[in-house]
Amino acid sequence: MNPKFEANNEALKSGQFTGRSLLQAKKNCPVDMEGQNYTILTSKCKGPKYPATLCCEALLEFCCGFVDELNDMTNNCAETMFSYINLYGQYPPGLFANQCKEGKQGLSCDKALQAQAEKAEIKAASSASSTLLTPPRLLSLALASTFILYLLL
């Protein structure tokens, strides 16, 4: 599977899609865009220079978690998301459309999804290893203190 975030340049510029889809009633977005954590974007994509690499990586990191919903032209997810991105980030019009270009089919989520998977694996491994290692360490410390007390008595 090769997920793409396929927002066209007009959508990125204004946060609204143009064309025939506006004439059709759109469903509400199944993702709570208002409740999303936009600090992924606002902490990395900062003015006045808005570095393209950081801004585009942050956009992908944020968007790729719900790429299917954003690409569904029957709902208002993309419009809603961009309205909140602009509300919280106060970004200049067209920032992401002008900086974040990859190809005709859109921006690829492959790297962002791979990075998220690696972070999840590291977190899971870290959690598992600390769970596995903590009891024996605690047990050995308890046994050591008991042994020292035994020797002192």
Model pTM? 0.62
pLDDT for position 150: 36
Which range marks the domain in which residue 30 is found? 4-108
Is there a domain that residue 49 lies in?
Answer: yes
* 149 occurs within a structural domain: no
**Which residues contact residue 134 at a Cβ distance below 8 angstroms, ignoring those fewer than 6 apart?**
none
pLDDT the model gives residue 104? 76
Instruction: Tell me if 114 is assigned to some domain.
Output: no
> Please, are residues 63 and 81 in contact by the beta-carbon 8 Å criterion?
yes
* Residue 11: inside a domain: yes
Q: What are phi and psi of 19, to 5 degrees?
A: 100, -160
Question: Phi/psi at 141 (nearest 5 deg)?
Answer: -65, -40
Q: How do residues 62-82 score in pLDDT, each as one tens digit?
A: 988 888 898 888 999 999 999
What mean pLDDT value characterizes the chain? 72
Position 76 scores a pLDDT of 93
Total count of domains within the chain: 1
Q: How far apart are CA 98 and CA 49, in angstroms?
A: 13
113 within some domain: no
The segments of the chain whose pLDDT lies below 50 read 1-2, 7-11, 13-14, 16-18, 130-153
Asked whether residue 138 is domain-assigned, the answer is no
Paired tokens of 47: 């003015």
In 3D space, the residue among 17, 16, 102 whose CA is nearest the CA of residue 59 turns out to be 102
Residue 85 within any structural domain of the chain = yes
**What is the distance between the alpha carbons of residues 53 and 45, in angstroms, rounded to a whole number?**
9
